[in-house]
Each structure stands twice: as structure tokens, then as C-alpha cells.
Amino acid sequence: MEEHFQIEMRNIQKSYGNIRSLRGVDLQLKPGEVLGLVGDNGAGKSTLMKVLSGVVIPDEGEFYFEGKKVSIDSPRAAKDLSIETVFQDLSLCDTLSVANNMFLGREPVKFLGRLIDQKTLHAKSREHLDKLGIDISSTKLPVQNMSGGQRQAVAIARAMVFDPKVLILDEPTAALGVKEVNMVLELINNVKKKGVSVVLITHRLQDLFEVCDRIMVLNEGKCIDDRLIEQFTLDSLIKSIMGSPDKGVGVS
């Protein structure tokens, strides 16, 4: 029987001018699997995730969603597959309110779809923020006046609103305090139980060992290491990120 992947990327290639950012990367994710994606700066992690979220169109490569070949050629296509992303730069519109940012592009409407249903918009936003334990005094506030942590929380909440099947978190904890980091890790463990596949990019290596099932290491646009978390130690992971993976501990 063929193994069932939630999402699979095959031979993803992307160049910018004479720089080959991604040189044929494969990535598979099972339902409910948490994959840590690491690598030095410029390794291609963010680009790979932008490809998966339809923001960057690869020069070459194929996508398979639940075993079926699909094309992810726009952000909309990724959303339609329930692939949601927290981008490294958060991708928020400063002058829009918390609620408008959370539902941007998918606002609840009324009056034959002409008007945004403000009541539902704010009620739903509040509900989701509460569910995630995010403390923001009003969903009507523009995000420009908020702290880095609150903005990051809004970006995370946005990715959770439409029940993702694949959740991409690109440095989701960069601006967060200790408490909020724990909240995010807890969130990852919670969605994992529901069968959501997660890709986590982070520089906080200790976090990877708390939530990941597997770690994939990118180096100069190629995957140079891909092992289950048990087969890594912090030391071997660092070696791998530096570009020289050892053969791992306990590899069978």
C-alpha cells in the first residue's frame, strides 16, 4: 500500500537571477506530523514555505495533496487546500483592524455579499482570539499600535481561523515572550492531535525537540538531512545545520 501523505512536494526548484535558491527539494508531510525545517540563513527555508503557500511560484516541481496531484500557483490555491501560513514578516496590514487582518480576503459578508458583516466579523475574531488565549483588548484596533508579540499573535490567530490541514509557521515565536512561546508550542501539540500537519521554522532549536516528529535540514537550497527527532541530539543537529551532518545516532 502506498504511504498516505497529507502534502508532498517533489523536486522544487527556484532561481532568482543567477542564484539558485532551491535546487530540487522534496518534502513529505504525514497527517498530524510536525516537521522542523532548519538551516542557516539563506538555506531556502522561507522560500520553500512561500512556494508551499502559493506566494512564490517555483520554476519546477510538483505538488501532491492527499495523494492527488495538485497545482499551487497562487495564494488562493493554497488556501483552497487548507494550507495556512504564518509568515516570517507576519504579513499584516498595519492600518487595518485586528479583525480585518484575521479575515482579510475571507470576510464574512451580508446583503447579497455586498457588505462586510461587521458584527459576525468581530464576534468570530473575538471567539478565535479567546480560544487561543490571546489577550487583545479590542478587535477593532488597528494592528499598527500593537506590540510585536500581539502582532505575532494576530498572525497566528489568522492562520488558525479556517481550520488548516497544513499549518506553516515561519519563525512564529521570534517576537514572543516566554509565556507566549509556550502557548505556541502548546498550540502546535493541540493541532497535531487533530491531525493537522505542521511545518515549523525556528532558530530556537530547543523548541524543535519539544514538538517535532522529524527534522529536515536545508543547506544552500538542498535537503542535506532528514531524520526522525529521536535520531538527533542537539549537537548532531547543530553539525547538520553547519552543513556537515554526521550519520546520526541510532540510525538503523
Partner 1 sequence: MKMEEDVYVSERIIKESQLKKFLRENLSTLSIFGVLLAVSLFFGIATGSFLSASNVTNLIIQVAPNVIVAVAMTFVITTGGIDLSVGSILALASALLATLLASGTSLIVAFLAVIAAGLAIGFVNGYVVAYHNIPPLISTLASLMYVRGLALLITGGYSVAIVGENWIIGMGQGRVLGVPFPVILAGFIAIIGVIALRYTRFGNYVTGIGANEESVRRTGVHTKKVKIMTYMLSGGAAALAGLIIAARLGSGSSNIGNMFEMDVIAAVVLGGTSLFGGAGTIIGSIFGVALIGVIKNGLTLMHVSPYIIQITEGLVLLLAVLINVKIFSNKK
Binding string, residues 141-180; x marks residues near partner 1 by CB under 8 A: ---x----------------------------------x-
- CB 219 → partner 1: shortest distance, Å? 27
**Rounded Cα distance, 168 and 197, in Å:** 9
**Rounded Cα distance, 13 and 26, in Å:** 10
- Judge contact between 162 and 79, C-beta under 8 A: yes
- CB 118 → partner 1: shortest distance, Å? 7
Phi-psi region of 90 (alpha: psi -120 to 50; beta: other; left: phi over 0): left
Binding string, residues 187-206; x marks residues near partner 1 by CB under 8 A: x--x----------------
* Helical ranges in the chain per DSSP H: 45-52, 75-80, 98-102, 118-131, 148-161, 178-193, 205-211, 234-241
Tell me if 106 contacts partner 1 by CB under 8 A.
yes
Binding string, residues 12-51; x marks residues near partner 1 by CB under 8 A: ----------------------------------------
**Rounded Cα distance, 245 and 238, in Å:** 8
**Rounded Cα distance, 77 and 72, in Å:** 5
Stretch that binds partner 1, among 5-13, 76-84, 214-222, 242-250 (CB under 8 A): 76-84
**Rounded Cα distance, 191 and 156, in Å:** 13
Q: Which of 70, 116, 123, 229 binds partner 1 (CB under 8 A)?
A: 116
Tell me if 114 contacts partner 1 by CB under 8 A.
yes
Minimum CB distance to partner 1 smaller for 54 or for 248: 54
How far lies 197's CA from each of 8, 165, 166, in Å? Answer: 11, 6, 5
DSSP state at residue 97: B
**Rounded Cα distance, 126 and 137, in Å:** 10
Tell me if 75 contacts partner 1 by CB under 8 A.
yes
- Judge contact between 113 and 52, C-beta under 8 A: no
Q: Which of 53, 139, 197, 240 binds partner 1 (CB under 8 A)?
A: 53
**Rounded Cα distance, 22 and 19, in Å:** 9
- Judge contact between 37 and 45, C-beta under 8 A: yes
Q: Which of 16, 66, 71, 76 binds partner 1 (CB under 8 A)?
A: 76
Number of residues that bind partner 1 (CB under 8 A): 38
Minimum CB distance to partner 1 smaller for 134 or for 216: 134
Tell me if 55 contacts partner 1 by CB under 8 A.
yes
Tell me if 63 contacts partner 1 by CB under 8 A.
no
Q: Which of 4, 41, 68, 105 binds partner 1 (CB under 8 A)?
A: 105
- Judge contact between 217 and 240, C-beta under 8 A: yes
Q: Which of 6, 21, 28, 85 binds partner 1 (CB under 8 A)?
A: 85
Contact residues for partner 1, defined by CB under 8 A: 53-55, 74-76, 78-79, 85, 87, 91-96, 100, 104-107, 109, 114-116, 118, 130, 132-135, 137, 144, 179, 183, 186-187, 190
